[in-house]
Structure 1
Amino acid sequence: MPKYPAREPLVLLPCRLPASLVARFAERAREQGVTLSDVLRAHLTVDEAKPLGKAVPRKRAGLAKVSGADPKLLRQLVGMGNNLNQIAKLANIASKTAQPMAMVELLITLKGIEKSLEKLSES
């Protein structure tokens, strides 16, 4: 098995493998008395890696094509939704930590978003 410098951090790398392959690796780990991670690391070398096939682009219908809405409007709405989710998260944190000033600031921000939505609905 390759030895890595003691100070080099390990990085979690999730991947999907067929169950039969995982079972074979797990059996080898049991036989050798090492962890599954050790067996996998021993088998990973860039030089021996199977060449990757040609990348196949994903085909997704654009939101505007599906909904018929203006793409600029959709981007604005998505941005507002993201902001709203962040505000909701902060509101939950503030309510659990009993920070009344933070709650007031969030309510002011929410009121601003409400006004922006009213302006959008008028146009």
Structure 2
Amino acid sequence: MSERIELRVSAEEKAQWQAIAASRGVSLSELIRAALSGQRLRPRRAAPRVDPDLVRELARIGNNLNQLARAANRRSPVETVSLLVRLIKIDRELAVLRAAHERPRDAD
């Protein structure tokens, strides 16, 4: 569990520190923590841009999985063959999406 520490600074100091933190891609807390502990700052990586079509497709697949899970949890009679057919279809759809959106390993 983290503890909170309050620090009184002038508005100018706060603005300056926030600007430094922003320029390095870290929070003000991370900047202060690193400065006091002598650690080197590691800026956060920007989140990769995600294709909205991919997000929608993954949401659709997730919805299908939720429906199957709900049926299983209700102990509804879901035929084993029907369930397997649905799961295989989802697996194939995920494989297609993965292949279409995979980044080459050396691009990191």
Fold conserved (TM > 0.5)?
no
Q: Which has the higher contact order (CA 8 A, sep 6+)?
A: 1
TM normalised by structure 1 equals 0.38
User: TM-score under structure 2 normalisation?
Assistant: 0.43
Larger Rg: 1
